[in-house]
Amino acid sequence: MKFSVMSNAAWMMSEKIVSVFGVIFVTSYVAKCFGPTVFGQIAFSASLFSVVQTIAIFGTETILFKRISKSAQKGVKLMVVAKKMRMTIFLLLSLPVLAYVWYALQENFVVFALASCLAALFVIQDTFSVYNNARLASRLNTLANAAGMTLSFSLSFLIAWLKLSPLFLTLSIVTATLVPYQIKRYFFYQHNFVSAPPKYKIKKYLRYLLYAGLPLAISSVFISLQVKMAQFFLVGVGSAQDLGLFAAANTVSASWIFIPVAIITSCFTEIFRERSDMALKLAAKLNGYVMAVSLLMLLFVAVYGEKLIIILYGQDYTQSGSLVTLLSIATCFSAMGTVAYRYMVKEGGFNYLLKKIISLMVISLPTSYLLIHLFGLMGAAWSVFITELLSLTVMNYFFKHGVIKKIQVSSLNYKTYR
């Protein structure tokens, strides 16, 4: 890998180290102080607006990344249209979701949902992160996000330490996205003059975003839903406490995924520019790196995961320990699946992704419901595992005469790394 790519990946990882530190130590302390019920309410509210946020982004992050990697000037013009489109979709979706929470759930859910809604609003307007990543300038993202997370985690710790009402945690939820957004926005406009494209081009850009973004949006929503789906079904057959137990297990099992994602994001700036034959070779090599990192982290979680749950979250979360290894294997599949997903985008496989996701939903929704209904928390973990396995393998192998399978098989051949 080139030095600039490695440096960019290192900056992205360093940002996530701050995040993981906060999740491991601060979030677990908050969860321990307020118990699984409050933790479950926060997790469920965040999950609701995570899905809304994913739909509102509408696959534009990948589209913008690809465009900016090739031409920053054209990418910036596309950013302007993407922001307006995102905001419109977000507002249309948020109102009915808030109405549902207001009428169907308890008071705490409403407050946490409002905070999650505001936090998501700043995320969907933050196209500056994509610009920085595509320009291999992730250092700014790292510093901005670290500032927001540090302030957010500090607030959470103080609220738990002083034993204040858990409703004050809404401050830390909003701060985590508001502060980074303002910092990135300030520096972007310091170095870039942005003018809105003419009307005829706005329509052209909008059509492109809708056409290319729809399959990616559905794909992104389903990727987001794979874990969230388990939480939604748990609401029906379990309790807020079950949500808290599952959220704790998933937090620990997926805490390391930032490492392969940083490597993937940085490497694809080069892969997007290459011809198909060279791109395939680079993708196979990248898949091997991601696999190696994932297996190392899986080994660590398998050995120490249950102990970490007890140390970090307390005895009330003992039941979460039995889920950690299975969910971590699912995280490995998810990490390698990201390589395949991005390669299909590079090859223009938008329609294939749409068909893949619809097929996966038809299989996964009833399977998840049945497993969770029969086996509760363990069924939720198995549903995530099965969905991620299918998404990584069978569902990818029909794309362009099995090119994803070729990439995965090539990544096991030592000659690929010469």
Q: Which pLDDT belongs to residue 332?
A: 93
- Confidence bin at 121 (pLDDT 50/70/90): very high
Residue 5 above 60 pLDDT?
A: no
Residue 119 above 90 pLDDT?
A: yes
DSSP 44-79: HHHHHHHHHHHHHHTTHHHHHHHHHHH-HHHHHHHH
Of 1-5, 70-74, 407-411, the range with the lowest mean pLDDT is 1-5
pLDDT in tens, 271-310: 777 777 788 888 898 899 999 999 999 999 888 888 888 8
Which carries the bigger pLDDT value, residue 202 or residue 293? Answer: 293
The phi-psi region of residue 126 (left if phi > 0; otherwise alpha if psi is between -120 and 50; otherwise beta) is beta
Q: Which pLDDT belongs to residue 29?
A: 74
Distance CA 69, CA 57 (A): 19
- Confidence bin at 146 (pLDDT 50/70/90): confident
Question: What is the average pLDDT across 317-346?
Answer: 88
125 φ/ψ angles, rounded to the nearest 5 degrees: -90, -5
Whether the Cβ atoms of residue 95 and residue 117 lie closer than 8 Å to each other: no
- Copy the structure tokens of residue 347: 């090859």
Whether the Cβ atoms of residue 260 and residue 297 lie closer than 8 Å to each other: no
Distance CA 37, CA 363 (A): 31
What whole-number percentage of the chain has pLDDT above 70? Answer: 90
- Confidence bin at 178 (pLDDT 50/70/90): very high
Which carries the bigger pLDDT value, residue 220 or residue 87? Answer: 87
Closest CA to 365 of 340, 391, 383, 347: 383
Q: Which pLDDT belongs to residue 223?
A: 66
Whether the Cβ atoms of residue 376 and residue 238 lie closer than 8 Å to each other: yes
Distance CA 174, CA 87 (A): 17
Q: Which pLDDT belongs to residue 417?
A: 78
DSSP 90-104: HHHHHHHHHHHHHHH
What rounded mean pLDDT belongs to the chain? 83
Please, what is the end-to-end C-alpha distance for the chain in angstroms?
12
Residue 20 above 90 pLDDT?
A: no
**Is residue 182 exposed (0-12), middle (13-18) or buried (19+ Cβ within 10 Å)?**
middle
Closest CA to 46 of 120, 105, 98, 154: 120
Q: Which pLDDT belongs to residue 186?
A: 93
- Copy the structure tokens of residue 326: 């299975």
Closest CA to 154 of 251, 45, 27, 31: 27
Of 66-70, 161-165, 338-342, 396-400, the range with the lowest mean pLDDT is 66-70
Q: Which pLDDT belongs to residue 342?
A: 85
DSSP 284-311: HHHHHHHHHHHHHHHHHHHHHHHHHHHH
- Confidence bin at 409 (pLDDT 50/70/90): very high
Residue 1 above 60 pLDDT?
A: no
Q: Which pLDDT belongs to residue 3?
A: 55
- Confidence bin at 122 (pLDDT 50/70/90): very high
Of 118-127, 149-158, 345-354, the range with the lowest mean pLDDT is 345-354
- Confidence bin at 174 (pLDDT 50/70/90): very high
What whole-number percentage of the chain has pLDDT above 90? Answer: 20
Distance CA 392, CA 404 (A): 9
Residue 329, Cα to own-chain centre: how many angstroms? 17
Residue 329 above 90 pLDDT?
A: yes
255 φ/ψ angles, rounded to the nearest 5 degrees: -65, -20
Q: How far from 65 is each of 6, 59, 109, 287, 345, CA to CA, in Å? A: 18, 10, 35, 20, 11
Question: What is the average pLDDT across 51-77?
Answer: 83
14-44 core/surface letters (b: 16 or more CB in 10 A; e: else): bbbebbbebbbebbbbbbbbbbbbbbbbbbb
- Copy the structure tokens of residue 254: 């997926």
Residue 24 above 80 pLDDT?
A: no
DSSP class of residue 209 equals H
Which carries the bigger pLDDT value, residue 243 or residue 179? Answer: 179
Q: Which pLDDT belongs to residue 21?
A: 62
Q: Which pLDDT belongs to residue 183?
A: 94
**Is residue 162 exposed (0-12), middle (13-18) or buried (19+ Cβ within 10 Å)?**
exposed
- Residue that has been written with the tokens 């938008």 in this structure: 350
